[in-house]
Amino acid sequence: MIDLRSDTVTQPTEEMRLAMRDAVVGDDVYGDDPTINELEELAANMIGKEAALFVPSGTMGNQLAIMTHTHMGEEMIAASNAHVVVYECGAYARLSGISCSTIDTAKGYISQEDVATHVRDADNNHFPRSTLLCLENPMTNGRVVSLEHMRETYSAAKANNLMVHLDGARIFNAAIAMEVNVQDITAYCDSVMFCLSKGLCAPVGSMLCGSAAFIDKARRNRKILGGGMRQAGVLAACGLVSLNTMVARLPLDHENARYLAEELAKIKGIEVPIEDVETNMVFATIRIPGFDSQRYTDYMLSKGVKVYGALSEETKLYRFVTHHGIGKQEIDRVMVHLREYLQTLSA
């Protein structure tokens, strides 16, 4: 089965399966799991923060950051299309009791001007206090935010006494696309979450990184959310493989994404802005007479290919994500079946 829906569908490698089998474990709630401790130390060192915390999911990592940085009744600032706003079930309100001031921006990223105009007047009792800025890199559209923009936005946040959390679910993809060290990106945030279970192929897990004091508090909050795990070293063993071996292969996913984009763009009626393919995501607008989202996904599935339907029926936008299980051979097969489906439209 070829699956282009997301890089969350990656299967653990054989090295990971062996590492799980041989993992030395303890009770992580007591701090006694040596494999967890090794992963957290490695993640913190790679990211350039004092400490790290292993969590079951990226959503939990983001929500722990929000919970740890804020107090009930305060407000965070985030892009209107940010993952923490759109795809995490409104958890910031339910778990942390805060509100969110959202920024609609055609640029995608949050600018220093956006920060200045969305920070509340701390002396006005009618307003919640602005205490946290949530950023993304890469963004949900797969594009990256330059270091210059990160630096400007971070400086604006600090000038307004805001903490900055970075949703860096695919942060290593961003660093590779920008040709910088990942620590060059994380220099402009107080905390960062990144996923092990996307392009890095681990079956479970994300890392939350920040100062030692921040992580100590986040660890307590993880317990509140039910995230305290016991012999979790069997999972951390996969995370170690992810960081030690799988980061280095991410450029191949980017290369395959561009190849897919170029192949899609050859078909009349499919628009792909090649210049926007910066990481492992391809977004294509399909305006072909008779093209039906549900029939298309059903047809592709019958051929052994899993794809998303239209993200928006209005915009006719479709997303494809390359990962460890997708190479040029798989992409060529996908294109064969896509063309077969298009032929049925004129039959």
Q: For the chain, which residues make up each domain, given as ranges?
A: 10-246, 249-345
Label residue 97 left, alpha or beta by phi (over 0 means left) and psi (-120 to 50 means alpha): left
CB 182 within 8 A of CB 44: no
Per-residue burial over 250-279, b if 16 or more Cβ lie within 10 Å, else e, is bebbbebbbbbbebbeebeebebeeeebbb
Look up residue 294 and give its two tokens: 């549900």
CB 112 within 8 A of CB 153: yes
Task: Compute the distance between CA of residue 309 and CA of residue 284 in angstroms, rounded to an integer.
Answer: 11
Task: Compute the distance between CA of residue 70 and CA of residue 73 in angstroms, rounded to an integer.
Answer: 9
Own/partner contacts of 144-152, CB < 8 Å, gap of 24 or more, are 144/174, 144/177, 144/178, 144/278, 144/279, 145/108, 145/109, 145/174, 146/178, 147/178, 147/180, 147/184, 147/185, 147/188, 149/109, 149/111, 150/185, 150/188, 151/188, 152/111, 152/112
CB 200 within 8 A of CB 172: yes
Look up residue 278 and give its two tokens: 């910066």
Residue showing tokens 């060529």: 332
Phi, psi of 321 (to 5 degrees): -125, 125
Q: Among the CATH numbers 3.20.20.140, 3.40.640.10, 2.170.130.10, 3.30.300.10, which is that of 10-246?
A: 3.40.640.10
Q: How many helices and strands, by DSSP H and E, does the chain display?
A: 14, 12
Q: Give the containing element (helix H, strand E) for 76.
A: strand 75-79
pLDDT value for 312? 84
pLDDT value for 107? 65
pLDDT value for 313? 81
What is the sign of the dihedral through the CA atoms of 288, 293, 299 and 302? positive
pLDDT values of the chain reduced to their tens digit, one per residue, 347 residues: 999 999 999 999 999 999 999 999 999 999 999 999 999 999 999 999 999 999 999 999 999 999 999 999 999 999 999 999 999 999 999 999 999 999 997 667 899 999 999 999 988 999 999 999 999 999 989 999 999 999 999 999 999 999 999 999 999 999 999 999 999 999 999 999 999 999 999 999 999 999 999 999 999 999 999 999 999 999 999 999 999 999 999 999 999 999 999 999 999 999 999 999 999 999 999 999 999 999 999 999 999 999 999 998 888 999 999 999 999 999 999 999 999 999 998 75
Own/partner contacts of 154-158, CB < 8 Å, gap of 24 or more, are 154/188, 154/189, 155/112, 156/112, 156/113, 156/115, 156/116, 157/115, 157/133
Reduced to 3 states (helix: H, G, I; strand: E, B; else coil), residue 201 is coil
Residues 6+ apart with CB under 8 A from 202: 12, 16, 196, 235, 238, 239, 241, 242
Task: Compute the distance between CA of residue 224 and CA of residue 142 in angstroms, rounded to an integer.
Answer: 32
pLDDT value for 239? 98
Q: Top-level CATH class of 249-345? A: alpha beta
Cross-strand bridge partners of residue 53: 208
